[in-house]
Amino acid sequence: MIELGGNITLVGFKEIERGELVVVKKIVGSYARKMSDTVSGFESITVTLKIVHKTEGSEKYELHAKALVKGKPITSKSTERNLFVGLDDVLKNVLAMASK
């Protein structure tokens, strides 16, 4: 488990390369900032990574995001071959649901 700031938690990201982790932290941090600026009652966000098919060059990443807004969890799930596309997708969905 990796904690960033006080309101971001990454789970399961120890298996990915260091360079990818830097990009993941920037993407998640950017979405967390958007949520704290636009969603009233935003408390925290947790992103969980599970590698589904671990074949060199054709991994599939299952991503789960959970945002706490006013004590209520808002969740989203995505499965992608590209880690960054999946991460963007799952965080975009949580932001959209939290903004309603």
Calculate the alpha carbon distances from 5 to 8, 9, 45 in Å: 6, 9, 11
Q: CA-CA-CA-CA torsion for 11, 52, 83, 7, nearest 10 degrees?
A: -20
- Reported as a single tens digit per residue, the pLDDT across 67-86 is 999 999 999 999 999 999 99
The predicted structure's pLDDT at residue 30:
96
The predicted structure's pLDDT at residue 37:
95
pTM, to two decimals: 0.93
What stretches in the chain show pLDDT beneath 50?
A: none
Domains located in the chain, CATH noted: 2-99 (3.30.160.100)
Task: Please list, in sequence order, all residues whose beta carbon lies within 8 angstroms of the beta carbon of residue 14, skipping any fewer than 6 positions away.
Answer: 2
Alpha helix (H) residue ranges in 4-82: 18-38
Distance CA 87, CA 89 (A): 5
